[in-house]
Amino acid sequence: MENKILGTLYGMAIGDSMGMPSELWSRRKIKSFFGKINYFLDSPSENETAIGLSKGEFTDDTAQALVILDSLMQNNFIPDKKIIASNLINWAIKTNAFDKNILGPSSKAALNAIQNGEDAEIYTSKALTNGAAMRIAPIGCLFKSDNKEDLVDYVYKISEVTHKTDVAISGASMIAAAVSSAIEDKDWNTIIKDSLDVFEIAKHYGYETFSASLSERLKLALDIAMKYKDDEEKFGQKIYDIIGCGTLTSEAVPSALAIAYFTKNPEKCSLMCANLGGDTDTIGAMATAICGAKVGVKAIGTKWINLINMSNKVDFNYYSQKIFEQRLK
């Protein structure tokens, strides 16, 4: 099981860092500038979003996931809104995330409000972006796949600090559920089914929005995956054109789940996401975490693991052990 948990953590970091150089660029611009991303790259000076990061260095997606884990461990894995908010703010200040445009719009607005003693719910109740989903993958490792109600409730309590809408909670829950199913080595159709089943529970949480249905978009994305199962380029283009690869939860989460289903391999998944266009690092973090959960860290190339370790100075074994210990309780 620890092999699978480590696979989730490294998968998240690999997808995140592989997609970092091309983050928020169009599919056309990525092809024009890079040709094709085939390995980890430094952030180009031309990309204002990813500026200053070195190859293999992950972004705020993985960084916030680790802050969430630190916050949970600080309180015996009981989600505490104040602890999570405080730690996210401290991380943001330490990394100058408020000024460097590192934070997503929903998280930035909510954390700024909390800092200023204002009511953050003005912003969290309207948060449609993927900030809750991007950092949630490790939480799926804490739950058995048949414990869906508790998983959704836990995801809600973690996410409400910055995201408190039905679509944000549903999207995060679907990613966590896919990881929960994948670490139990369920087949890919069951992984997707578990994610869709969780949506039916999670859609009742948070403030109601008029966002497109995550389950219907995922089903459409899966149809595209089946139609173009032997043509990666056409599949990626159709996902980009039809499902969307932007920062909205309603685009990023269905796309990430479909790409994980299509690729089934962490390395292939991270590369596809990096070349996809749009929110490449976030979609990469979510999708590759699921693939990593399915195959385990031992199936990921040592060269890739070593680069992640060297570039980020994070002991993922420590986090894996703590998650595993909590899962056993």
Considering only 94-98, 120-124, 179-183, 212-216, which range has the smallest mean pLDDT?
94-98
In single-letter form, the type of residue at position 111 comes to L
CA 135 to CA 132: how far, in whole Å?
Answer: 6
Please report, rounded to a whole number, the percentage of residues in the chain having pLDDT higher than 90: 95
> What residue numbers does the annotated binding site for Mg(2+) cover?
59-61, 279, 281-282
Does this model's pTM top 0.85? yes
pLDDT for residue 236 is more than 90: yes
Annotated binding site: 59-61, 279, 281-282
The 10s digit of each residue's pLDDT in 120-163 is: 999 999 999 999 999 999 999 999 999 999 999 999 999 999 99
Q: Give the model's confidence band at 102: pLDDT under 50 very low, under 70 low, under 90 confident, else very high.
A: confident
pLDDT in tens, 268-294: 999 999 999 999 999 999 999 999 999
Angle at 133 (CA atoms; ends 276, 50), nearest 5 degrees = 50
Q: Where are the alpha helices (DSSP H) in 75-213?
A: 81-94, 105-115, 121-124, 131-134, 148-159, 166-182, 188-202
**Cβ atoms 53, 42 nearer than 8 A:** yes
Residue 297 CB burial class (10 angstroms; 0-12, 13-18, ≥19): buried
Q: Which of 42-51, 169-178, 294-303 has the lowest mean pLDDT?
A: 42-51
pLDDT surpassing 90 at residue 101: no
Q: In this predicted model, which residue has the larger pLDDT, 328 or 275?
A: 275
Q: Is the pLDDT of residue 51 over 80?
A: no
User: If you average pLDDT over each of 85-99, 101-115, 161-175, which comes out highest?
Assistant: 161-175
Domain spanning 2-328 has what CATH number? 1.10.4080.10
